[in-house]
Structure 1
């Protein structure tokens, strides 16, 4: 949830205005300065994804893994992408446009391949998540996931070569070479949590070093895109702190009384991440006639948090359970009775 909130703050208090998708906002400069680093929350998502997928893929049948990832990603994506498309179509905000062709392309998620832009800017990271799932599925199907710790150094080394020497965008997208370090960090952290080894520790530092390298290198893109400076020291500090906090969190002994709350907050993160950006820009813009920029952002952010919690509790959990039950049962042999 913290990672999603940091990304939302980045969009509302920095990127929206910097990218011209929000009008000029009268916000404290300190808030804008802090908010500009919120994009690093996406990297935290990738670490968490590597950790969770590494855990859930162990001893998993290929079809079971495929179903679990499909159910987690697609139903919520389709619903909230459709909600975003409808909001854009009905809002009349001149900054955002949607047509049927773009909507249909986004139903397939990989809309850029079809020459259509994403309905919402955050979808690029969802595409990378799906590509990551695809590679993990392939390893499971080939019976090679048990060798994942041997595969990671090859992936990281190849990623480094592409990012530094080759510079192929196709290789970057197919092999996630810009963010492979973060996914690898999550995988290694899961393995180290189960069993400490010198190899695992060495791999942790390798993945961490490459993650830091790509995070620092990527700052140049943000500086060019938004005409502001990003402190390399701050970026490094955020990366180190994020990994340290994640280590601390996964080793906490949470009282069983708080598990439902923790699951609710974690479960609602995906909906919050998907729904907040473009609908948020439209909502904040509409509220600026009546409220200050800070108040408008606070109102919209609170509304999204409440919406995401209710959506996860009342819709996502129930719908995903039904779909998963159906898909898993579809290929389960039926017991014949005499």
Structure 2
């Protein structure tokens, strides 16, 4: 199958997802302002912006399947590490430093907290997260680990369909019979598994063609994604207020339809180098916007009107994200890739060197008796002796 061009529209959708989450954090939560968000923005236009993370997960399912097709397990894990860790390490150190020097905070990270967070597996060992936004990375990591098993086996259409069907089925059973969570729900990532599988189903539509199986994966994923979204919506309620589920269902449906439209080629006209740049800024922007941008909002909220302050801080954080991408991710990613490859080669080097030594041809002098013996014993082929 010929290689397809880069889907620049997905870069743009990544940026939309990041801006959705940013707008929600900057306008709809009291954590940033240290007072009621409704007091700052009474109309609450971005009250459902937290659903931007769900768009992230949909895109992730699509892109991870796309980028890992034809790769081995080592290449897959290497690409994920190189993509995630450089900007993440910086964010851990910057946020930890801010928490350490900011006065009046009830909790300050210890050195052990920082070291554990640098691994990105703090949730797995029950360590506190340095930044609130890291929870979504733990969901991504569990998806990568599950999908890596399929990559190790080898990606084919049937295997990917079976993987999605098994994951969705296990998710439905775990949700029905293990409502209190536990290890099984943690491993299966039950609240977000349908988003990843929907993205994978859309990629199958894109790479091959829409089939009953791929449509069934997307439809079942949407149905299973609804209950967790509605539960989260009710958690957003204040003082027992019942929040209608209609808006979040509609917005989730819009996210699904956008990824389906990408898969069917309906958005192939959305192109531009600026989309690639925007997509590159998404990850550092997501990592740093809440803690750094939130600190700026808190410091200047009494000096600058919030409707002006939020766009200004948003612009600053986009600039910061560009600086992180340009001066941290771009130079560090290839070095990290080289270091990991060298480490992997060194780990298996002795075996390979031994094999190479045993397979190395001897000199002509040492090979001569063997060659002569072979020539004597080998029959002539097509009248050409010693061929």
Q: TM-score, normalised by structure 1?
A: 0.89
Select which of 89, 107, 110 maps to 1:99: 110
Structure 1 equivalent of residue 176 of structure 2: 164
Which residue of structure 1 aligns with residue 236 of structure 2?
A: 222
Gaps of 5+ in 2: 1-14, 346-351, 362-387
Partner of 2:139: 128
Does residue 104 of structure 2 align to residue 110 of structure 1?
no
Q: Which of the numbers 289, 293, 302 marks the counterpart of 2:302?
A: 289
In the alignment, which residue of structure 2 is the partner of 1:253? 268
Shift of residue 301, structure 1, vs aligned partner: 1.6
Residues 1:201 and 2:212 aligned together: no
**Which of 80, 90, 107 is the matching residue for 1:69?**
80
1:269 is matched with 282
1:36 aligns with 2:47: yes
State the superposition RMSD in angstroms: 2.6
Structural mapping, 1:75-90, within 5 Å: 75-90=86-101
> Alpha carbons of 1:229 and 1:5: their partners in 2 closer, same or farther (altered >3 Å)?
farther
Question: Aligned pair in 2 of structure 1 residues 43, 322: CA closer, same or farther (>3 Å)?
Answer: same
- Aligned residues of 2:195 and 2:222 also touching (Cα < 8 A): yes
Tell whether the 8 Å contact from 1:21 to 1:95 is kept in structure 2 after alignment: no
What secondary structure does 2:46 align onto?
A: helix
Q: Secondary structure at the match of 2:28?
A: helix
Cα distance 1:159–1:231, how it changes in 2: closer, same or farther (>3 A)? same
| 1:265-305 residue CA offsets vs partner (Å, 9 max, x unmatched) | 11110111111112222221111231122333222221111
SS at match of 1:295: helix
What's 2:226 paired with?
212
Structure 1 unaligned runs (5+)? none
CA distance in 1, matches of 2:232, 2:302: 36
- How many pairs are equivalent? 331
Query: Could you tell me how far apart the structure 2 residues matched to 1:223 and 1:145 are?
Result: 44
- 1:93, CA displacement in angstroms? 4.9
SS of residue matched to 1:316: helix
**In structure 2, distance between residues paired with 1:322 and 1:228:** 52
SS of equivalent residue, structure 1 residue 271: helix
For residues 227 and 293 of structure 1, do their structure 2 counterparts lie closer, same or farther at Cα, with a shift above 3 Å needed? Answer: farther
Does structure 2 conserve the Cα–Cα contact (< 8 Å) formed by 1:91 and 1:282?
no
Tell me if the contact between 2:133 and 2:287 (Cα under 8 Å) persists in the aligned partners: yes
Which of 1 and 2 has greater Rg? 2
